[in-house]
Amino acid sequence: MLGIQTAPDLEEKLSILSSDAQYDLSCACGSQKDDRRRRGLDDHWLYPVTLQSGGTSLMFKTLVSNTCSNDCKYCPLRAGFDRTRRCSLSPEEIIRAFMPYWRDGRVIGIFLTSGVCGNPDAAMSRLIATAERLRFRERFRGILHLKIIPGASDAAIDRAVALASHVSLNIETAGASHFAKLTARKDYLQSVIAPLKRIAILTAKGMPRARVKTSSQFVVGASDETDREVVRYMGGMYERLGLHRLYFSAYQRGLGDPSLPGETSAASNADLLMREHRLYQTDFLLRKYGFSAAEIGFDAAGNLPLGMDPKEAWAHAHPEHFPIHLNHAGREALLRIPGLGPVAVKRIQDARRNGLRIRSLEALGMRGALARKASAWIAY
């Protein structure tokens, strides 16, 4: 007997598309339970963001469509891989789903992404139409994050940047040769690098859209790039493109094409997750700790050591910089101490400004594993 599959209603589509949005793991990494994405009781995925005050809040995230004409081999939504029930949301449906969350104060914004339904600009038109209705009809002034579709035209990119508070475009991997192993339908330079450069020009300091936050994401381990290559690209993206943030998603084995290098790699799933974590730690060194990409150390294969965080690895490789004196060293030197982050360094500097001579980390209220790690590298 043949079954008849009816078109999904709004609630079914939201369940399908919100669930499929989990495969775009941007903003989903964290070290604490409250840092990670979570699924609400109504099947919508809510994503954490860090506020300037140091607290966290949630973003509403959904795909506009999970129909995709691209062949990205790591993605379970790719063309020809039909284990997913395909559907799309109209701008009105998205607004109807999102606005109750916004009015009730349960989220601080919305993150819209999409598969490529048709061509890149056709997909962008749905994102832009939704953004225009939110901004002009609903008077929504919260965070609006739009994912730029690879291969989008300059006109579509310009309009998205004009409407959004945040935009992102996934670089996916480090370099054209690795990218070619992920897809045959997208051109790395034209589909990814050129739009990233366009976004950088529009949001550069002094430009009208300089307020817009920009980000990108690497898929870690789907291709056979090394961490050295990824970190080199990270440095260039921060220095030359002015990106505010980079994200990393460990490749999820079993969801991609069997021909991917990531499917046949000897690395375990645990190794892939730890590699993602080490890249996030490296990202913090570049953004928050004053390190350059050239200072990051790698093993003989060109990868970050999995058994040691990258700052501690740097310290072991540069014993001439240690011990560092807590009562005299400047902020840049203090940030090089394994186990100490910006908050701990500020506490040390505040104590010194108040005339306190530091004789132990415990006197500053610093205890536990990080304090024990730091004690091996400091002097008083």
Beta strands in 223-342 (DSSP E): 245-250, 324-325
Is the pLDDT confidence value at 49 over 80?
A: no
Among residues 86, 81, 83, which one has the least CA distance to residue 66?
86
Query: Cα 43 from chain centroid?
Result: 22
Grouping H, G, I as helix, E, B as strand and the rest as coil, residue 215 is strand
pLDDT of residue 284: 95
Q: Which amino acid is at 244?
A: H
pLDDT digits (tens, 9 = 90+) for 194-228: 999 999 999 999 999 999 999 999 999 999 999 99
Using CA atoms, how far apart are residues 188 and 185, in angstroms rounded to an integer? Answer: 10
Among residues 192, 183, 188, 186, which one has the least CA distance to residue 157?
192
| pLDDT band, very low/low/confident/very high, at 102 (cuts 50, 70, 90) | very high
Q: 59 has which bridge partners?
A: 47, 109
Among residues 15, 24, 7, which one has the least CA distance to residue 247?
24
* Least confident residue range of 241-245, 295-299, 359-363: 359-363
Report domain extents, the chain: 11-309, 318-379
Is the pLDDT confidence value at 16 over 50?
A: yes
| pLDDT band, very low/low/confident/very high, at 126 (cuts 50, 70, 90) | very high
Is the pLDDT confidence value at 291 over 80?
A: yes
| pLDDT band, very low/low/confident/very high, at 75 (cuts 50, 70, 90) | confident
Q: Which amino acid is at 59?
A: M
pLDDT of residue 322: 96
Query: Cα 338 from chain centroid?
Result: 24
Using CA atoms, how far apart are residues 92 and 163, in angstroms rounded to an integer? Answer: 17
Place of tokens 């009562």: 327
CA torsion 58-253-235-318 (nearest 10°) is 110
Q: Give domain 11-309's CATH number out of 3.20.20.70, 3.40.50.10860, 1.10.357.10, 3.40.50.1370.
A: 3.20.20.70
- Give the count of alpha carbons within 13 A of 138, CB side only: 21
Using CA atoms, how far apart are residues 243 and 200, in angstroms rounded to an integer? Answer: 7
Using CA atoms, how far apart are residues 172 and 72, in angstroms rounded to an integer? Answer: 10
